[in-house]
Amino acid sequence: MENRKVMFNNKTNLLQLEEPIYPLVENETANVYRNLFPYTEVPRIAFNDRIVPHCMPEEIWITDTTFRDGQQSRAPYSTEQIVTIFDYLHRLGGPKGKIRQSEFFSYSKKDRDAVYKCLERGYEFPEVTSWIRASKKDFQLVKDIGLKETGILVSCSDYHIFYKMKMTRREVMDHYLSIIRDCLDIGVRPRCHLEDITRADIFGYVIPFCAELRRLMDEYNIPIKVRVCDTMGYGVSFPGAVPPRSVQGIIYGIMTYAGIPSELIEWHGHNDFYKAVSNSTTAWLYGACGVNCSLFGIGERTGNTPLEAMIFEYAQLRGTLDGMDTTVITELAEYYEKEIGYQIPPRTPFVGKNFNVTRAGIHADGLLKNEEIYNIFDTEKFLNRPVLVAISNTSGLAGIAHWINTYFKLKGDDQIQKSHPMIADIKGWVDREYENGRITVLTDDEILNAIDIACNRLGIEFHGYGVKNHE
């Protein structure tokens, strides 16, 4: 301790000791942390109350795995669908390219065709990258395609090293490093996917492995990215939590003890414990420049971090969208439902049909007076989605008027007020529906039909641009 150097950290404005070196811990049997991960019980979150400092990078960004992890839990996209979605991602990321990269499978002809077609677009962002297993055969695919960067699966927990790979830590490290060297030898940037890191020995394997990557970077003068993969969703953002589950502890360790800079670290989260978004945001806050996401969170099991969620996390952290066009999110949602046939759960934030729909009568009245009372932000501006009020048994006159005005996009003097006789007529019909035992929300077609009936009964005309009495 007394021989370690004391240095000044310009970023934190603090004196700090030279960090210790963590050697590879070679164990004869797998260390699977049964005290933290008892398989027959819910996994435990332990605390040691060691706090690491905030270290948010000057620049942060998003990377995309829609065409890789996003294809592992659904029917594969067609080549045409991939290219179309890629075009949307390019627009969504804006002129500053806040969606930096998109990774692709390359095993099938369909996937390779999609890679070539997306490359033909000539976009700077998202950059097209690939993903391979750590094998010589897979490496040949990358070599043949000629991409500048590829992800490499480098599983890092003893669950994978001993039980899946059937190797020791030293053997698997040497194996991984040989594939990484193959990439470096031909000038391809490796991106190491540290699979299952939230069950791994952080100080006994992960940091020594990342330190080897640091040495290879210095030897070849080629950057090597580290993707921190919370494969099972075990990561937590609670201050003082014990690694390997501590998100900030992992990021801090890789930066501080292995010397991997922020711009080469990205977080890849899964949502098994509902923590994908909060963990990804925490990774940004504690030093990772990148977070890896998929559109609508579609991915293995419970899915990945939703890309659209991290766009709005970005805006909340930075106070700006930096040119990202968030209206594209709505276009993508419509494309998925109409062209791909994917049904987005209706209560999904930002994209579900009920995202900005209210049903309570008192809320509807407030919305009619001022939508800021019950809407999270100007959803019409940012998502091209005006706030809506569903009509149900709790809907009052204000709710019905608001539905009509919103559905037909009536503005100013053309808006229908809740005092209009047509609204009272429709309200009477709604009340009768529920008095007769109905329990479901009324559909758009039913409401439109009720409008026609009310207009005929009252002798008024309505064409979607205001009402007038028959002369």
For residue 316, give the CATH number of its domain: 3.20.20.70
Residue 229 has pLDDT above 80, yes or no: yes
DSSP class per residue in 430-453: HHHHHHTT--SPPPHHHHHHHHHH
Domain assignment present for residue 281? The answer is: yes
Number of domains in the chain: 2
Domain assignment present for residue 25? The answer is: no
Cis peptide upstream of residue 95 (ω within 30 degrees of 0): no
pTM (global) more than 0.75: yes
Cis peptide upstream of residue 126 (ω within 30 degrees of 0): yes
264-314 pLDDT, tens digit each: 999 999 999 999 999 999 999 999 999 999 999 999 999 999 999 999 999
Residue ending a domain, choose from 340, 375, 404: 340
In this structure, the answer to whether residues 107 and 241 fall within a common structural domain is: yes
* CA 208 to centroid of chain Cα atoms: 29
CB-based contact 213:192 (threshold 8 Å):
yes
389-434 pLDDT, tens digit each: 788 888 889 888 988 988 888 888 889 999 999 999 999 999 999 9
Which one, of 123, 188, 180, 151, lies nearest residue 266 by Cα? 151
In this structure, the answer to whether residues 251 and 201 fall within a common structural domain is: yes
In this structure, the answer to whether residues 90 and 197 fall within a common structural domain is: yes
d(CA 273, CA 251): 20
Q: How confident is the model at residue 470 (pLDDT cuts 50, 70, 90)?
A: very low
Residue 234 has pLDDT above 90, yes or no: yes
Q: Which residues of 389-419 are buried (b: 16+ CB within 10 A; e: fewer)?
A: bbbbbebbbbbbbbbbbbbbebeeeebbebe
Residue range of the domain that includes 199: 48-340
Q: How confident is the model at residue 444 (pLDDT cuts 50, 70, 90)?
A: confident
At residue 205, φ and ψ (nearest 5 deg) are: -135, -50
Handedness of CA 200, 201, 202, 208 (dihedral sign): negative
In this structure, the answer to whether residues 201 and 59 fall within a common structural domain is: yes
In this structure, the answer to whether residues 222 and 165 fall within a common structural domain is: yes
In this structure, the answer to whether residues 195 and 82 fall within a common structural domain is: yes
Predicted pLDDT of residue 362: 60
In this structure, the answer to whether residues 381 and 237 fall within a common structural domain is: no
Residue ending a domain, choose from 305, 340, 375: 340
In this structure, the answer to whether residues 395 and 431 fall within a common structural domain is: yes
- Please report which residue ranges of 272-306 form alpha helices under DSSP H: 276-285
| Measured distance between the N- and C-terminal CA atoms of the chain, rounded to whole angstroms | 95
Predicted pLDDT of residue 361: 58
In this structure, the answer to whether residues 465 and 317 fall within a common structural domain is: no
Which one, of 342, 245, 196, lies nearest residue 47 by Cα? 245
In this structure, the answer to whether residues 430 and 303 fall within a common structural domain is: no
State the burial class of residue 440 (Cβ atoms within 10 Å of its Cβ: 0-12, 13-18, 19+).
Answer: exposed
Helix (H, G, I), strand (E, B) or coil at 437: coil
- Higher pLDDT pick, 465 / 127: 127
Q: Which residues make beta-bridge pairs with 179?
A: none
**Residue 224 has which token pair?**
């090597």
68-95 pLDDT, tens digit each: 999 998 889 999 999 999 999 999 999 9
Q: How confident is the model at residue 235 (pLDDT cuts 50, 70, 90)?
A: very high
**Residue 62 has which token pair?**
């998003």
In this structure, the answer to whether residues 330 and 369 fall within a common structural domain is: no
In this structure, the answer to whether residues 188 and 250 fall within a common structural domain is: yes
Domain assignment present for residue 370? The answer is: yes
